[in-house]
Structure 1
Amino acid sequence: MQLSIIDLVIFLGYMAGILLFGVSFYFKKDKSTDDYITGGRKLPSWAIGMSIFATFVSSISFLALPGNAYLSNWNSFVFSLSIPIAALIAVKFFIPLYREVNSDSAYYYLELRFGGWARTYASIFYLLTQLARMGSILYLLALPMNALLGWDIATIIIITGICVIIYASMGGIEAVIWTDAIQGVVLILGALTCLGIIMFSMPEGPGQVIEIGRENNKFSLGSLDFDLTRSTFWVILVYGLVINLQNFGVDQNYVQRYMSAKNEKEAIKSTWFGSLLYVPVSLLFFFIGTALFAYYQINAHLLPEELLVAEAADRIFPFFIVHGLPTGMTGLLIAAIFAAGMSTISTSLNSSATIILTDHYKKNIQKEVSSKVSFRVLMGSAIFMGILSIFVALAMMGVQSALEAWWALSSIFSGGILGLFLLGYFAKNVERVEAAIGVVLGVLVITWMSLSVFVFQEGIWVNPFHANLTIVFGTIVIFLTGFLLSLLKGKNKDHQVKEKA
C-alpha cells in the first residue's frame, strides 16, 4: 500500500517539524536542571493542560477506541466519565500536597511517610511501568504504520523511538509540553475532520449515523448489573476511578506538571483543562467508531473480506484513513496517530529521567551535584530509557497480544504504588511496618489476579473477576491491610498501658 506524494510530504514534514521544534529548546541560552524538569516553573496553564490531555491520549486510544465502538458499544467511554471525579479529588488533595512538599519527585512524600524503602520501591516500579508503557506504545504504533505504509515493523519502532529520544532528551520538559500542545491540536483537528467526512458521506446525511447506531444499540454504556465478572458500567467506572486516581496521585508524568505551573492556582487550572478536555475528545473517538460502523453497514462492499471479522475491528479506522479520505487528509491523520504516540512516549522519557536523577543518582550516588552534572544525568537517563524502550518494543513482536501483556505488566508494576500513597495520605497512624506488609500482600493479590489464568488455565485458582478489577482489589488490600494493622497496633499499645497502670 503506497501513500501519495502529497500525503508522504505532509507526514514526513510534520515529523521533521516536531523534531526540529523539540530540539530547538536545547539551544536556549540559559539552561538549568529546573528548566529541564519543570520548565523554570513558568509555563502557561493552557499548555500544561494540553500536555496533560496528550498524556491521557496515546496512539492506542486513537485506534483502539474507534475499534471498540465499531465492534460493540460505548461501554469503555464510562472510563472517561470517571476522570472528572478523580480530577476533583486531585485538585482538592493531591495538588496542594505536592506543591507544599515542593519536590521534583512524586515519591519523596512516600519517603517522608514511610522511609527510604517506600520511595525506592515506588520509583523502581514506576520506571518498570514506563518501560512497559513506552515499549507497548512503540510496538502498537508500528502495527498500523506497517499496514498503512508497508514499512518493516522493526524499522518503524527504531526510527520513531530515535526521533522521540532526540527531542525529549535534548529539550527537557519545555520541549515535551510545547510539542504535546501542538500534537494535541493536530490530533483533535484530525479526528474532527475524519468524523465530518464520514458523517457527510452517508447517503441520507449525518442523521443516518444516529439512526443506524440506535438500531444496533451502539450508544449503550453497558449493563447496570452488579456483576464483577463482566465489563459492566460499574466495573468500568470503578476501574477508571482507580486508574485516574493513580494518574493524578502518584504518576510522575502528572506530578511534574503540577510543579511546572507558576503557582497552585495555575496547576489546578491546567489539571481541570487537560482532564476535562479528554472527556469530549474520547467521546469523539467513540463517535468515529459508531460512524464507521454505520458507514460500512451502507458500504459493506468497500471492506475487504479479511476486515469483516470481529478480530479486525482495530484495523477498520486505519483502512478508512487510507481508502476513505481525500489526498492530503490521509497524511494528516497518520501524523495525528504518530502525534498521539510520540507525545505519550516523550512524557514518559522526561519523567523517567527526572526520577533517575532525584530518586537514585542524588540519593544513592552523589547527593550534591552541580547543575551541569545534573543536566548530563537527565539527558543520559532519557537516552538510556529510550533505548531500553525500543528493545522492549522489539521484544513485543514475539508476544501474542501486546495489549494484554501491557495490562498485566502495568497492573503488577504500578498497582501497589497507589495503595501505598492513599495509605500514607489518608491513614495518618499507619507506620512503615504496617505499610510494608500491606504492599507485599497487595502485590501478591495483583500478581495472582494478573497471572493465574496463564499458570492454572482453569479451576478454582483462576481469578474469577474481570481483569479490570485487578488494580482495584490490589489497592483495596494494601489500604485495608495497613489500616487494620495500625488499629490492632494501637489497641495493643492501649492494652499495655492499661496493664502497666
Structure 2
Amino acid sequence: MEVASKLHAIDWVVLSATLIFIVAYGTYVTRKNANVTDYIKGGNDTKWWTIGLSVMATQASAITFLSTPGQAFHSGMGFVQFYFGLPIAMVIICVVFIPIYHKLKVYTAYEFLEGRFDLKTRSLAAILFLIQRGLAAGITIFAPAIILSAVLGWDLLTLNVIIGFLVIIYTVSGGTKAVNVTQKQQMIIIFIGMLIAFFMIMSQLPENITFTNALEIAGASNKMEVLDFSFDLSNRYTVWTGILGGTFLMLSYFGTDQSQVQRYLSGKSVRESQLGLIFNGLLKVPMQFFILLIGVMVFVFYQFNPSPLNFNPTANNEIVKTKYAQEYKELEAQHIELENTKKAIFADGFQANEKTMVQQINKADLALKAKSKAIIDKIDEENTLDKIESNDKDYVFIHFILNNLPRGLIGLLLAVILSAAMSSTASELNALASTTAMDLYKRNVKEEKSDEHYVKASKWFTLLWGLMAISVACVANLFENLIQVVNIIGSIFYGNVLGIFLLAFFIKFVKGNAVFMAALITQAIIIAVYFLDWLPYLWLNLLGCFLVMMIAIVLQPLIPKSKLELKQT
C-alpha cells in the first residue's frame, strides 16, 4: 500500500489551511514590535490563560503526540508517572522563582545569576541552556519530518528545511508575542484533534466491546499498570522517579529553561504568571494520561484488526529486497496466526479466565517482534547508505491515523502533530535567540546600542538558531523513542543548572568562583554517569542538582575571594 495515497484533497486542504493560518496570523498580529520589551517579553501584557496554554504548548511538541501513544502501545500507562513531579514543581516556581524574576525585571532567567554571582556563572548557565535546547530544537523538527516522510515519500532533508523555515518566518517577525498568540490556536487544534482521535478509535471497536471491555483487554495485556512503587533503579518509570527525579526535572525545565521562563516573563503581573503555571500544573498530567490512553486504545484496536509485525514502513520495504525476506515472511505468518487466535478469544467479549491465555499470546508475539527487530538491525549493519530503525514506537500512532481514519480527519491529525512541532520549536528558537542576545551579545558589547539594534540582533539570532536546529534535524537518527531522547538531553544538563539557581536563591555564603568550578565538575560527572549507564536518566536531574550544590559548598572555603566577592561582602 502506498501511504501517500491516503492523503486526499480534503486532507491537503485541512493541513495546508491550518499551517498557513498559523504562520500568517502570527506574522500579522505582531508585525509592529519595535522595542526589546515587546519583542522578548511580549510587551508584558499576557493574560494567565495565554501563559498557561503557551507553557503547555511549549512542552507538548510533536514528539508528545507522535511518541507518547507508541510508548503506551508497547509499554502501557506507566510513562504517566514521569509527570507526577510537575504539579509540585509548579507550586515551588510560583512561590520562589516568579516573584524574584518579576521583581528584578529580567529578560532572561540567567540575568539574575550575574547579580547574585558573576558574569562567568551567568554565561556558563546560558551556554549550558543553549547546548541542550539547541539540540532539542533539532529533534522537535526531526520528529514531524519523519511522519511526513512516511506519508509523502519525501526525503527528510527537504522536510526538515520546510518545517524549520515555516517556524522561522513568524518567530523572527514577531518574537515572544508571535509565539504566545499562535500557541493558543495551536493548542485548540491539538485538543480538538486528540479528542476526535479517541472517539474514532472507540467507534471502530466491535459493537460488543464497550470502553470498560477495552480497559479489561488492555489490563489483561498489562497495559493499565499506572503505578509502580518499586525501588528498582533499572526501571525508568516509577512513582519515586516521577516524584523525585520528575520534580527536579520540571523545576529545572520550567524554572530555569528560558524557553519556558520567557512564556511567563511576558505575564501582565506576578499573579497572571502564577495562575498560568498553576493552570498548566492542573491540566498537564490529565492531558498526558489521556494521550497515553489513546495509545492503549490503539493497542486494543489492533487486537481486532490486522497490524504489521513492525510499524516502520521503511524497514518493511527494505526487508523484501534482502536475503532475509523469506525469514521475515515466516515471522509475519506466525504473527498473523497469533492475531487470529486473539480475535477468536475476544469474539464473545473478554472473560476473566482468558487473561492467562492472552498474556501467553502477547508474550509469543513480543518474541516474534524481537526476532523481526534483530533482522532489521542486521540489515541496518549491512546497509552503509541509510539508517534503518528497528524500533517502531514512533510509527504506531501515525500508522493508525493513515490507515483507519476517514478523509479530512487524517489532515486534521497531521495538522495537530505539525502544530505541536511548530509551537514547541518556535518557543525554543525564541528563547535561544533571547538568551544569545541578552546574556552573551548585549552583556559583552562595550558601547551603548539602541533598542532597535537589539531587536534586529534578536531576529538575526533567531534565524541563526533556526538554521542550526534544521542542521541538527538533518543529521539526527531515531533513538529508542523520540520523547525519551529529548528528556535525556534535558536531564544531562538541567540538574546542574537548577542547582546553580538553588544556590543563588538559598545558599547566600556561596559565591561565583565556587559555583562556576562546581558546575564544570558536575557537568563532567553527569555526562560520565549517563554514558556509563549507572543510573536511569531521570535520576540525573536529582544527582546533578545535589552534586553542584555540595561541591560548591565544599569549595567555597577553599577558594580565595575575588575582588567582586570582596565588594559583595
Alignment TM-score, normalising by the size of structure 1: 0.90
Matched AA of 2:106: S
Q: What is the CA–CA distance in structure 2 between the aligned matches of 1:62 and 1:279, rounded to whole Å?
A: 14
Q: What is the CA–CA distance in structure 1 between the aligned matches of 2:117 and 2:531, rounded to whole Å?
A: 29
Q: What is the CA–CA distance in structure 2 between the aligned matches of 1:43 and 1:467, rounded to whole Å?
A: 35
Contact 2:259 2:428 in 1 (8 A): yes
Superposition map of 1:53-452 within 5 A: 53-203=56-206, 204-231=209-236, 232-299=238-305, 301=306, 303-307=307-311, 309=369, 311-366=391-446, 368-397=448-477, 406=486, 409-452=489-532
Q: What is the CA–CA distance in structure 2 between the aligned matches of 1:102 and 1:279, rounded to whole Å?
A: 31
1:46–1:407: structure 2 CA closer, same or farther, 3 Å change rule?
closer
Superposition map of 1:2-81 within 5 A: 2=4, 3-28=7-32, 31-81=34-84
Q: Which residue of 1 aligns with 2:548?
A: 478
Is 144-153 or 407-416 further displaced after alignment?
407-416
Contact 2:393 2:481 in 1 (8 A): no
Deviation string for 1:246-286 (max 9, x for gaps)? 02221112222222111111110111112322221111111
Is 415-424 or 44-53 further displaced after alignment?
415-424
Contact 2:67 2:482 in 1 (8 A): no
Q: Which residue of 1 aligns with 2:377?
A: none
3-state SS in 2 of match to 1:306: coil
Deviation string for 1:226-263 (max 9, x for gaps)? 12222233123322111100022211122222221111
Following superposition, the deviation at residue 82 of structure 1 comes to: 1.3
Contact 2:39 2:177 in 1 (8 A): yes
Contact 1:350 1:382 in 2 (8 A): yes
Following superposition, the deviation at residue 397 of structure 1 comes to: 4.4
Q: What is the CA–CA distance in structure 1 between the aligned matches of 2:300 and 2:251, rounded to whole Å?
A: 35
Q: Runs of 5+ in structure 1 lacking a partner?
A: 453-462, 491-501
Matched AA of 1:313: K
Matched AA of 1:339: S
Structure having the higher Rg: 2
Q: What is the CA–CA distance in structure 2 between the aligned matches of 1:347 and 1:289, rounded to whole Å?
A: 27
Contact 2:248 2:495 in 1 (8 A): no
Q: What is the CA–CA distance in structure 2 between the aligned matches of 1:399 and 1:315, rounded to whole Å?
A: 13
Contact 1:77 1:286 in 2 (8 A): yes
Q: What is the CA–CA distance in structure 2 between the aligned matches of 1:274 and 1:478, rounded to whole Å?
A: 29
Note if 1:469 corresponds to 2:539: yes
Matched AA of 1:466: P
Contact 1:132 1:410 in 2 (8 A): no
CA RMSD of aligned residues (A): 2.1
3-state SS in 1 of match to 2:538: helix
Following superposition, the deviation at residue 146 of structure 1 comes to: 1.1
Following superposition, the deviation at residue 470 of structure 1 comes to: 2.1
Deviation string for 1:426-474 (max 9, x for gaps)? 211111232123212211211111223xxxxxxxxxx332232223212
Q: What is the CA–CA distance in structure 1 between the aligned matches of 2:485 and 2:277, rounded to whole Å?
A: 30
1:407–1:258: structure 2 CA closer, same or farther, 3 Å change rule?
closer
Following superposition, the deviation at residue 315 of structure 1 comes to: 1.4
Matched AA of 2:173: M
Q: What is the CA–CA distance in structure 2 between the aligned matches of 1:366 and 1:25, rounded to whole Å?
A: 34
3-state SS in 1 of match to 2:405: coil
Q: Which residue of 1 aligns with 2:356?
A: none
Matched AA of 2:80: F
Contact 1:356 1:381 in 2 (8 A): yes
Contact 1:449 1:467 in 2 (8 A): no
Following superposition, the deviation at residue 406 of structure 1 comes to: 4.8
Q: What is the CA–CA distance in structure 2 between the aligned matches of 1:95 and 1:44, rounded to whole Å?
A: 15
Contact 1:77 1:283 in 2 (8 A): yes
Matched AA of 2:455: F
Matched AA of 1:76: F
Superposition map of 1:448-459 within 5 A: 448-452=528-532
1:187–1:434: structure 2 CA closer, same or farther, 3 Å change rule?
same
Following superposition, the deviation at residue 16 of structure 1 comes to: 1.0
Deviation string for 1:12-63 (max 9, x for gaps)? 11111111111113433x6322111112111221111110010111111111
Q: Runs of 5+ in structure 2 lacking a partner?
A: 312-334, 336-368, 371-390, 561-569
3-state SS in 2 of match to 1:473: helix
Q: What is the CA–CA distance in structure 2 between the aligned matches of 1:132 and 1:403, rounded to whole Å?
A: 13
Contact 2:76 2:224 in 1 (8 A): yes
Q: What is the CA–CA distance in structure 2 between the aligned matches of 1:435 and 1:27, rounded to whole Å?
A: 41
1:4–1:25: structure 2 CA closer, same or farther, 3 Å change rule?
same
Contact 1:105 1:359 in 2 (8 A): yes
Contact 2:170 2:178 in 1 (8 A): yes
Alignment TM-score, normalising by the size of structure 2: 0.80
1:488–1:120: structure 2 CA closer, same or farther, 3 Å change rule?
closer
Q: What is the CA–CA distance in structure 1 between the aligned matches of 2:52 and 2:87, rounded to whole Å?
A: 14
1:91–1:198: structure 2 CA closer, same or farther, 3 Å change rule?
same
